[in-house]
Structure 1
Amino acid sequence: MKQLDRALEPYRAARKEPRPSKGWIRAIRQALGISSGELARRLGTSRQLPLQLEKSEAEDRITLKSLRAAANALDCDLVYALVPRTDSMQELIENRARSEAKNRVLGVEHSMALENQAVGRIDEAVETETQRLVRKRTSR
């Protein structure tokens, strides 16, 4: 988990940078002064494909394969990562475990309340279940 956190560290700052409104393909192509026809030639495709790729990227419909091909044609590398919104993988695991624990504990507490056997101390039970789930998920 710590190794994954270290590997993701360089990407954390990048996640805060917005994508150009018309996408990276168009932004890089225009910055390099390459026409869509030239990009088509580099891709070995029709003149329409680069424009379709630019549109599909801007609309979040592009495939990684197509994005990688466009990057290669623009002499760029595609850099791809899934970056947790939390500060660490440990925090992400704990948040997910706490949510699952809360659902489990509340479900059991509700069933017991229906039978007049409610125990109370829900917060303690949630924390205990959270720690059990975290241990289970981090011991793999």
Structure 2
Amino acid sequence: MKNTKQQLVLDQIDKKLVLFQSLQIVVVPLKGWVHTVRTALKMSLRQLGNRMHFSAQNIKQIEEREANGTISINSLREVANALDMQLVYGFVSKHESLEQMIEKRARELATEIVMRTHNTMTLEDQQNSKERIEKAIVQKTNEIKSEMPKYLWD
């Protein structure tokens, strides 16, 4: 059952995630941030390499790994430090809140469960009205949200 502690955790994380909401519209440069910032500063591969104690070829590989999405967070953090910058890492939610995400998933599950029962009853010629089905979905959604069962994200 979702208790006050769980609700508090959700609320606290939502407050942190909302700070990233405006970043949804940020477009990552085609060649990546490392290349973009480095060239904007008119810093050569060799110069950044010297700051990191790497060769120019290593920096080129870092830029390529960032551009194709295979770079590690630690590597990005090291580059940021060498550029006298700070790496900021976080998630931008596709929903207004974690609560909304839970609501959406709970409704999906509730619909599956209710419709399975509805199909069985239809086969037995005992089908329910659309209103009754919707009411059952709402009730099951609320139950799932309240209990937050382990199968919620299966």
TM-score, structure 2 normalization: 0.81
Is 1:70 the equivalent of 2:99?
Answer: no
> What's 1:128 paired with?
139
TM-score, structure 1 normalization: 0.88
* Cα deviation code 1:33-71 (max 9, x no counterpart): 211111112222222111111112112222212211211
After superposition, the CA RMSD in angstroms is: 1.8
Q: Contact between 2:49 and 2:55, CA under 8 Å: does it hold in 1?
A: yes
Q: How does 1:105-120 map to 2 (within 5 A)?
A: 105-120=114-129
Paired-residue identity, %: 35
| Alpha-carbon distance in 2 for matches of 1:115, 1:42 | 74
> What's 1:45 paired with?
54
Matched to 1:126, the amino acid is I
Q: List runs of 5+ in structure 2 lacking aligned partners.
A: 1-9, 150-154
* Cα deviation code 1:67-88 (max 9, x no counterpart): 1121121111111111211111
Aligned residues: 138
> What's 2:70 paired with?
61
Q: List runs of 5+ in structure 1 lacking aligned partners.
A: none
Is 1:11 the equivalent of 2:20?
Answer: yes
Matched to 1:65, the amino acid is N
Q: Which has the higher contact order (CA 8 A, sep 6+)?
A: 2
